[in-house]
């Protein structure tokens, strides 16, 4: 399921239009509908540190995929590897698989929050 993303501002009188107000929002929140009850909505607001952690984990998988690709080309597909023009002595060792990304957990459901 996809989450609905929204930006948050701490100032209640802030202009929320990105065209007329170039100031960045103070935070981001995600709204995810529950699987069992359609009217129970979970809202979670990850910190910048949590979002950065997810982005770093995704980047480590991207790097792993690149290194794995060239390892396979060098060792198992020499004809295609030659097309890249790397020297024969280049080493593309089998990379270690990174740990899975840590999930972002939902916070307090919206129905329990004070208005």
**What is the pLDDT at residue 110?**
39
pLDDT tens-digit map of 21-59: 777 777 777 777 777 777 776 777 777 787 788 888 889
Domain of 20?
Answer: 4-112
pLDDT at 64 over 80: yes
Position with higher pLDDT, 87 vs 106: 87
pLDDT at 111 over 60: no
Spatial neighbors of 4 by CB under 8 A, at least 6 apart, are: 30, 31, 32
3-state secondary structure of 29: strand
Provide the number of structural domains found in the chain. Answer: 1
């Amino acid at each position: 399921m996809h989450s609905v993303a929204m930006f948050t501002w701490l100032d209640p009188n802030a202009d929320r239009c990105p065209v007329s107000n170039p100031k960045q929002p103070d935070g981001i929140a995600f709204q995810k509908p529950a699987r069992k009850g359609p009217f129970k909505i979970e809202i979670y607001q990850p910190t910048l540190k949590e979002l950065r952690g997810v982005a770093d984990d995704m980047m480590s998988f991207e790097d792993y995929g690149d290194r794995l690709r060239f390892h396979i080309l060098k060792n198992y597909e020499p004809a295609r590897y030659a097309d890249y023009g790397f020297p024969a002595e280049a080493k593309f060792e089998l990379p270690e698989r990174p740990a899975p990304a840590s999930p972002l957990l939902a916070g307090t459901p919206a129905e329990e929050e004070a208005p």
